Amino acid sequence: MVENSGSIKLGSLAVHRLGFGTMQLTGPGVWGPPQDREGARQVLRRAVELGVQLIDTADSYGPDVAEELVREALHPYPDGIRIATKAGFTRPGPGQWVECGRPDYLRAQCEGSLKRLGLERIDLFQLHRIDPQVPAADQFGALKQLRDEGKVAEVGLSEVSVEQMEAALAVVPVVSVQNHFNIANRGAEDVVSYCEEHQIGFIPWFPLASGKLSRTGGPIDQVAGQLDATVSQVCLAWLLRRSPVMLPIPGTSSLDHLQENCAAADIRLSDAQFQELTDARKSVRRWALAG
């Protein structure tokens, strides 16, 4: 199933192009444990059974909770499973996120993630945000040190511009970028293009968001009907078709939704359908103005 999404190399890591994000496995506001802890573990195990190879998490999810769930469900990790985590936020409370990119903090969070995940080396360690209060070069330098020491295999970034990517690449190899991007929100098109040019993986977060494009009778709904698919599956199929470096990581706490998302790897958009969906935002804007 998931293997039909194709494969991608993130530096030394090779994974299928449809991963799993763990943010929704925590409590409300991405805070505290889930109501059904065993249910969350079952979702993680089933994701691996369906062919998912990249599990994306973060120390700030819970905080700590999502990483603990990953270890509880999957450790010792099966061959081919790659764990990506992130650092760079503090969590004062539910729904609250504060950037913290001090090198000592990033190092401490990396050490904590290694313990929580039960790893000797993190496959992909991502800077969750660039802290505007700390020189960016110091944050990139901290990632380089962790990589040089063998605590992380590869380095990634999140919510960055092309200019910031270039600044980071001058300090440390970067194999992935995780930015907000989906069929309705394409503000990071220039970053996607840069990633394509430099063979850097692009991991879109909120990959299923589709806004007015998914309204009943709208463009996504129509294509979904033609393919006997769901709106979510069409959104994922569009992302996979959009770029060979695209690696969506849809998350869910539902086994049914997990199965649905993974089945998107089998959806094939025709050239006409892909173009219709790509151009759909223009028609939605015209529709909104006319309304």
Q: In the annotation, is 77 catalytic?
A: no
pLDDT over threshold 60, residue 287: no
Render pLDDT for 31-51 as a digit per residue (tens, 0 to 9). 999 999 999 999 999 999 999
Q: For residue 170, what are the contacts with CB-CB under 8 A and spacing of at least 6?
A: none
Q: Which amino acid is at 281?
A: R
Query: Average pLDDT in the 179-185 region?
Result: 94
Out of 61, 77, 105, 194, the active site residue is: 61
Torsion 232-208-246-86 (CA) sign: negative
* pLDDT at 210 (0 to 100): 82
Residue corresponding to tokens 């992302």: 239
CB atoms within 10 A of CB 76: 7
Render pLDDT for 241-258 as a digit per residue (tens, 0 to 9). 999 999 999 999 999 999
Contact predicate 200/244, CB 8 Å: no
* pLDDT at 281 (0 to 100): 76
pLDDT over threshold 60, residue 285: no
pLDDT over threshold 60, residue 25: yes
Question: 72 pLDDT band (50/70/90 cuts)?
Answer: very high
The DSSP bridge partners found for residue 31 are: 62
pLDDT over threshold 90, residue 28: yes
* pLDDT at 93 (0 to 100): 97
Give the C-alpha separation, 156 to 171, whole Å: 12
Going along the chain from its start, the domains and CATH numbers come out as: 2-209+243-252 (3.20.20.100)
The DSSP bridge partners found for residue 180 are: 205
Return the axis-axis angle of helices 271-278 and 231-242, rounded to nearest 10°. 100
What's the CA angle centered on 274, arms 269 and 277, to 5 degrees?
125
Residue corresponding to tokens 């010792």: 76
Render pLDDT for 137-161 as a digit per residue (tens, 0 to 9). 999 999 999 999 999 999 999 999 9
* pLDDT at 180 (0 to 100): 96
Render pLDDT for 255-277 as a digit per residue (tens, 0 to 9). 999 999 999 999 999 999 999 99
Render pLDDT for 81-96 as a digit per residue (tens, 0 to 9). 999 999 999 999 999 9
pLDDT over threshold 50, residue 134: yes
Give the C-alpha separation, 41 to 75, whole Å: 11
Mean pLDDT for the chain overall = 95
CB atoms within 10 A of CB 269: 21
* pLDDT at 211 (0 to 100): 82
